[in-house]
Amino acid sequence: MAEENELAEWFEQVSGSDWLWYVKYLSANDTYAKANVHQGGPYVAKEVLRVVFPHLCHRAEREENPDLFFDAIVDSHGDYTTNLRLVWYNSKRLGQPNGRDEARLTRWGATDAPVVSSESTGSLVVFAYHRIGAGDADGLRVWISRNLEEHDRIVDRVGPIEPGVGLVLTSTGVLLSDVLIAADRPCALTAATMPESWKARIPTGDEIIARVIESLPSSRALAADDRLMRRRQCEYEMFRSVEAHHVLPRLQHPFDSVEAFLEYAHTVTNRRKSRSGRSLELQLAGIFREEGLSFSHGAHTEGSRKPDFIFPSIESYWDGNRRDDQLRMLAAKTTVKDRWRQILNEARRVEMKHLLTLQEGVSEEQFREMTEEGVVLVVPKSLHKSYPTTVRERVLSLERFILETRRQCKS
């Protein structure tokens, strides 16, 4: 309860018109989880630069590698304080074809400092930037989720976060980037392309995924890993555009009270959580069907346990004549840092538990713990480069998982 109150109090301290939040999962490229990282520090997305550092954006058009300095406090870890450097490496923007165009927050101190420690890889973090007026932010306060409870409380406050995406929003939960730029994205729907029924109501996750597959007929020819990632991105863009169609007109009209506004924001957040909760499972189920795999989705094993997928079927799982090594289970979680232990008892007959994730990297220590507990990570191929070399060699791609499952779990 003390930790719960601590986070709630922190939310209050960084709320108000002077604060803008950037919420993301820390990837291996943000921390020192990868051995070849020479300068640890989170990448700063272009949306953050545009909204939080407008003057730096102007400087980046004419100066080489513009930077600025400000103090930061990591409140979640004993008020760890440091003076940060935000540097925008912009050689590509200034005409070098093979140059860089990325910004990083650097000078966090030692390699085991809270934000850049390899053990923080996969953690959900809130960067609360302090800004007065229209200038660049002049200070930063940070909260790194320390456990599953804190992770869930942050998600309750701001809505679900996609690994590799992040959200820029006000402290009241109003998006300043994603919804507003959704129409610029390839799979975003416009008033002309949106189904008429969707203009009156938000479609279900199944409906959006069906529309995604219809919109990307060529995706069926892609390898399973690329198919999943392409459809995930398209689904995300499509949902955001539909949400914008419903949300933006409402935000243009005044609310009767602060409570009414917060209630509406809470409704939007809950809708995002509902979509995100089953999205990855539904995408995988569609790919497994396309690949001709036999499986049961969301069936109960022992007691009330319910793994995401059982191969080849739940009937086979309960068949006493089938050997244990002819069964497989797969759990699907967008991130695993604080959640992977939840799957350990989901299917007693299956010794090795496969876990698919979109998390961009884990530390060697986190991976060792998973391996010792019999967890096998399945990660889309394009994300393998985010993992330490020693881990990368032992992570399965989705394509390989499907091939192995087809051989091992014949109906």
Structural domains for the chain: 2-170 (2.40.330.10), 182-290 (3.40.91.80), 296-408 (3.40.91.80)
Task: Decide if 151 contacts 124 (C-beta within 8 A).
Answer: yes
Give the list of residues 6+ apart from residue 382 with CB closer than 8 angstroms, or none.
225, 226, 229
- Binned at pLDDT 50, 70 and 90, residue 166 comes out as confident
Interatomic CA distance for residues 396 and 400, integer angstroms: 6
Interatomic CA distance for residues 306 and 36, integer angstroms: 40
Q: Shortest CA distance to 356 belongs to which of 320, 400, 290?
A: 400
Structure-token match 């400087």, residue found: 59
The tens digit of pLDDT for each residue in 233-243 reads: 899 889 888 88
Structure-token match 């961009």, residue found: 360
317 assigned to active site: yes
Least confident of 81-90, 221-230, 255-264, 355-364: 255-264
Helix (H) or strand (E) holding 375: strand 375-378
Sign of the CA dihedral running 51, 170, 10, 113: negative
Most confident of 15-19, 252-256, 399-403: 399-403
The tens digit of pLDDT for each residue in 205-232 reads: 889 999 998 888 777 788 999 999 999 9
Token output for 341: 């232990």
pTM of this structure: 0.82
Interatomic CA distance for residues 102 and 398, integer angstroms: 30
Q: What is the pLDDT of residue 381?
A: 94
Q: What is the pLDDT of residue 179?
A: 38
- Is the pLDDT at 395 greater than 70? The verdict is yes
Task: Decide if 175 contacts 158 (C-beta within 8 A).
Answer: no
Interatomic CA distance for residues 94 and 63, integer angstroms: 8
Interatomic CA distance for residues 206 and 278, integer angstroms: 9
H runs (alpha helix) in 184-293: 196-200, 205-215, 224-251, 258-290
Q: What is the pLDDT of residue 133?
A: 82
- Binned at pLDDT 50, 70 and 90, residue 177 comes out as low
Task: Decide if 256 contacts 234 (C-beta within 8 A).
Answer: no
C-alpha R_g of the chain: 22
3-state helix, strand, coil in the chain (%, to 5): 40, 15, 40
Residue 20 DSSP SS3: strand
Average pLDDT of span 141-147: 94
Token output for 81: 């304080």
How would you class 404 by CB atoms within 10 Å of its CB: exposed for 0-12, middle for 13-18, buried for 19 or more?
middle
Token output for 365: 């220590």
Residues in the chain: 411
DSSP-assigned letter for residue 322:
S
Interatomic CA distance for residues 30 and 19, integer angstroms: 23
The tens digit of pLDDT for each residue in 182-209 reads: 445 788 898 899 999 999 998 988 899 9
Q: What is the pLDDT of residue 272?
A: 75
Least confident of 82-86, 120-124, 133-137, 184-188: 184-188
Q: Shortest CA distance to 243 belongs to which of 193, 198, 281?
A: 198
The tens digit of pLDDT for each residue in 268-306 reads: 777 777 777 688 999 999 999 999 999 999 999 998 899
Average pLDDT of span 57-70: 91
Q: What is the pLDDT of residue 1?
A: 43
- Is the pLDDT at 34 greater than 80? The verdict is no
- Binned at pLDDT 50, 70 and 90, residue 180 comes out as very low
Other Cβ atoms within 10 Å of 111 Cβ, number = 12
Q: What is the pLDDT of residue 182?
A: 45
Helix (H) or strand (E) holding 150: helix 148-158
Interatomic CA distance for residues 154 and 134, integer angstroms: 27
- What is each CA distance from 335 to 11, 24, 49, 162, 346, in whole angstroms? 23, 12, 25, 9, 18
Mean pLDDT across the chain:
87
Average pLDDT of span 394-403: 96
Please provide residue 387's backbone torsions phi and psi, each rounded to the nearest 5 degrees. -100, 150
- Is the pLDDT at 46 greater than 70? The verdict is yes
Q: What is the pLDDT of residue 175?
A: 62
Average pLDDT of span 136-154: 92
Interatomic CA distance for residues 113 and 32, integer angstroms: 10
Task: Decide if 34 contacts 116 (C-beta within 8 A).
Answer: no
Task: Decide if 208 contacts 187 (C-beta within 8 A).
Answer: no
Q: Which of 129, 236, 317, 387 is catalytic?
A: 317
Interatomic CA distance for residues 334 and 329, integer angstroms: 17
